[in-house]
Structure 1
Amino acid sequence: MFKVHPVPAHRLPELLRAMPKAELHIHIEGSLEPEMIFALARRNGVALPYASVEALRAAYAFTDLQSFLDIYYAGASVLLKEQDFFDMAWAYFEKAAADNVVRAELFFDPQTHTARGVPMAVVINGLHRACVDAGSQLGISADLILCFLRHLSEEDAFATLEQALPFRDRFIGVGLDSSEVGHPPEKFARVFARCAELGLHLVAHAGEEGPPAYIWSALDVLKVERIDHGVQSAKDPALMARLAKERTPLTVCPLSNQKLCVFPDLKDHNLRTLLDAGLCATLNSDDPAYFGGYLNENFLQTFAALHLSTQHAWTLAHNSIEASFAPAVDKQRWTHQLNQTFERFVEHDY
């Protein structure tokens, strides 16, 4: 582990903003800001059930995951053309570049769009073009992860996979998202096995609102490489020990957890518990347009609420790089940049 010297408290926010980091849990449809939703609605002639940007934003008072998903799917209805998907992703990448994100692995939900008659090619080509441009113009390494909607059937997931396979070179993995409770990971055992045969990376949402048993199933039945969220693992000491021993990454999203009432207040979040237990926890924004902040805002608010340290900052950034699906040579370069950033801050202060 890199030896981290503490920086003065007043400089920690600056360090959090400056350090290179990866974002591994970002739903690209969840980055649709109200202003862009209305702009795309006008462009595509889509009627919205909200009178204004302000009225839409005022509706972002969620009580649980489902209350969020209802608005999330309504917002996605404005995405119809390849350029819409490009514009949405590009807006995210510009914010990510400002937050010193060097690697982004974007979740996308094709079933949300194909169910509305939007062709798979439109979805994937628009997002992929933005990923390519992010690399050449912003210096962000980016890839796509196709997520199956768990409230739908495994047969629907299989059909979605088949539709996506002509574009196999444009996404690196599959995930599992949407309503968690009542839809355990094992519901998708066969389709995940097929994706493993295809050489795709495997991740799944588990243990956000669902029980620790869902995390066990995601690991043992789906054979996932990362757990998205995973905060309920703290309720199961045996699971915590396993996650720490196996270095299974958790993609934790604190502002999302607070907004969806998983934790009543950010100061009640268990991220410090996960880190101090030796888990490979990472920090991410989830659906930043809806949950009150992109990646750096998650860092700033979480560190202030939990009184996390300079060591925690390095660990979270390093974990995010380690847990990414980027090539090893890129991980080495970013880790070197991370260490140099911390050394620069220490030299400035001593």
Structure 2
Amino acid sequence: MSRIRELPKVELHVHIEGTLEPDLVVELAHDQGIELPYPDAEVLRERYVFADLSSFLDIYYANLDVLRRRHDFARLAYEYGARAHLAGVVHAEVFFDPQAHRSRGVPLHDVVGGLVDGFDDARAEFGVTTDLIACFLRDRPVAEASAVLDELVDMSAPIVGVGLDSAEIGNPAAPFAEVFARAAALGLRRVAHAGEESGPESVREAIEELAVHRVDHGIRSVDDPGVMAQLAAHRIPLTVCPLSNVRLRTVADLASHPLPHLIEAGVVVTINSDDPAYFGGHVDDNFLAVAEQFALTDDTLAQLARNSVTAIFLPQERRDTVLAQIDEWLAAGHPPPVE
């Protein structure tokens, strides 16, 4: 376990709201005098049994009620940075959902400002660097997403890209094409959830309609050889979250996960946590789980880590630094023979 944690990692698929641990929910509620529908953190944690994505989103959005002040978002970001450091994360591109807070009357200045505050503190203490990706909720109106993009631009929010998340079934990506095109014109990178609940056609839609740089999840791509070939040929990374897929029952169990098939097909696969407070595992836990389940070698684990580095939205100099750290990790596990 310690060696996998020591593997330098980049995390590309983590929702900051999904890092809100039950203990912090209770603490922030108590601090603000918010009455919760459960007596303590343990009872809340016991409710984290999900039948599907929708059942998860119900409790996920309910818990956000405790995030009201700039301080709350700062605390959330700092706690993620501290835990990410323990997982071996050196850089993370972190999702946040502006609409989920804006709709509750929380000013976006407080949301973004708080996240920046917390991540700045975590970087100073642990050395973990972060960038923000603002995700639009695909089950909300396109006009609302467009207004959020305008507001983020007007406030000069320090985001590197935009994404698309929330309930996939019944909420296609194509209607958001114009918003994503505007983001592209602004120099922002684009990612989108696809192929988690819906089939491979959702992945193709995200690639062709939104011109995404990465596909988040994308595991249903294995159901269509054409989509698999498209991903491999164009080197479009998938940000796969194995423990999330198990907990949301998009796969029956970890043994049934299509990760080995994606790797064998030459797809650029990366390993991530998604919503670790709800799914029982940060990125190191995900690496450990797939390493044990599929008997992955150090070479394969290092390649998965490298894939994340090639997919990040950072200058090449920073990428080269992390790649060198991964090479050092791999070499440490293969000491030269004693003569």
Q: Which bracket does the TM-score occupy, shorter chain normalised?
A: over 0.9
Aligned-pair distance for 1:349? 7.9
Residue 114 of structure 1 is matched in structure 2 by 102
Q: Which has the higher contact order (CA 8 A, sep 6+)?
A: 1
Per mean C-alpha deviation after superposition, the further-off stretch among 30-39 and 192-201 is: 192-201
> Partner of 2:215: helix, strand, or coil?
strand
Residue 258 of structure 2 is matched in structure 1 by 270
- The answer as to 2:324 corresponding to 1:325 is no
> Partner of 1:75: helix, strand, or coil?
helix
- The answer as to 2:168 corresponding to 1:154 is no
Counterpart-to-counterpart distance in 2, 1:349 and 1:72: 51
Cα deviations by residue, 1:224-273 (Å, 9 ceiling, x for unpaired)? 00000000000010110111111101000000000000111111111111
Counterpart-to-counterpart distance in 2, 1:36 and 1:79: 10
Per mean C-alpha deviation after superposition, the further-off stretch among 212-221 and 164-173 is: 164-173
Gaps of at least 5 residues in structure 1 are 1-12
Q: Aligned partner of 2:295: which letter?
A: H
So what's the TM-score if we normalise by structure 1? 0.94
- The answer as to 2:27 corresponding to 1:39 is yes
Aligned pairs, number: 338
Q: Are the structure 2 counterparts of residues 349 and 122 from structure 1 closer, same or farther at C-alpha, using a change threshold of 3 Å?
A: farther
Counterpart-to-counterpart distance in 2, 1:142 and 1:54: 30
| Structural mapping, 1:1-350, within 5 Å | 13-347=1-335
Counterpart-to-counterpart distance in 2, 1:62 and 1:229: 18
Cα deviations by residue, 1:177-199 (Å, 9 ceiling, x for unpaired)? 00001111102111111111111
> Partner of 2:38: helix, strand, or coil?
coil
Aligned-pair distance for 1:307? 2.0
> Partner of 2:176: helix, strand, or coil?
helix
Q: Do the aligned residues in 1 keep the contact of 2:146 with 2:179 (CA within 8 Å)?
A: yes
Counterpart-to-counterpart distance in 1, 2:337 and 2:50: 42
Q: Are the structure 2 counterparts of residues 324 and 40 from structure 1 closer, same or farther at C-alpha, using a change threshold of 3 Å?
A: same
Counterpart-to-counterpart distance in 2, 1:187 and 1:49: 37
Aligned-pair distance for 1:276? 1.5
Q: Aligned partner of 2:35: which letter?
A: A
Aligned-pair distance for 1:98? 0.9
> Partner of 1:228: helix, strand, or coil?
strand
Cα deviations by residue, 1:10-50 (Å, 9 ceiling, x for unpaired)? xxx44322110100000000000000000001112222222
Aligned-pair distance for 1:326? 1.4
Q: Do the aligned residues in 1 keep the contact of 2:81 with 2:123 (CA within 8 Å)?
A: no
Q: Do the aligned residues in 2 keep the contact of 1:124 with 1:167 (CA within 8 Å)?
A: no
> Partner of 1:184: helix, strand, or coil?
coil
Counterpart-to-counterpart distance in 2, 1:117 and 1:348: 60
Gaps of at least 5 residues in structure 2 are none
Aligned-pair distance for 1:348? 7.3
**Identity level (%):** 45
> Partner of 1:77: helix, strand, or coil?
helix
Counterpart-to-counterpart distance in 2, 1:176 and 1:287: 15
Counterpart-to-counterpart distance in 1, 2:154 and 2:70: 17
Residue 5 of structure 1 is matched in structure 2 by none
Aligned-pair distance for 1:168? 3.1
Q: Aligned partner of 2:56: which letter?
A: F
> Partner of 1:308: helix, strand, or coil?
coil
